[in-house]
Structure 1
């Protein structure tokens, strides 16, 4: 129906650094629907500095589309000053991880070589504050997936 919005998410995986430099990214041709060129549309970024407006999914819901998952956690009361750590993304597919609004980077543990993302201690909030986690998952994920803080990086063999 003509009045229904159509939203597209384009993933940028960067550019190759070898060979011919005709490594085009994004929407490089007309956008069509049922053979008709769509016009009058606009493109915009998704600023994630403030993610309070992002709709997230409950962990019990399984989806096939790109989705945001969120959660929160407290560090142990006895820990004191938070230390540098790593976030284990085992079992997730491919996406981007944010902790307390800080973009920790992309994860893609199936491809590797890194399975964990580095999390600097100063990004973490001491007890009794809650730390927030936002995961932008681009592919299907098991509904009960979790993340874990681990003391050392994990590399795919």
Structure 2
């Protein structure tokens, strides 16, 4: 079937990126992250995601504030990239559940996210992720996610 070709190509790309740490090769290969302006970067020796500000990300134009769905996309993407790049999973993890806490309005500027794997079993992983803009100690959103992993 043709289904296996794209996933095997992504699996090969993930293996390559794990070695080279050229994270943009992975995010550029995914149309959704390209469209949303979400990239993985190594900032101060730490892997994190950045969602570059674009006017289309605004949900409330009166404030203006980022749309909650865009923040959810950033949090989910950061979690998936953390699992892809820090575990041995050969395929993209599937979301079982994602609970987002919106803590304050996101301003029209770049937003960062950092995910941490809090528990990983053979088939399931728990991930905690925070998003912030100006001050990492004042997150604008956080999430807890549960993912189904493919066995290596």
TM-score (norm 1): 0.29
Higher strand share: 2
Higher helix share: 2
Which gives a bigger RCO, structure 1 or 2 (Cα 8 Å, sep 6+)?
Answer: 1
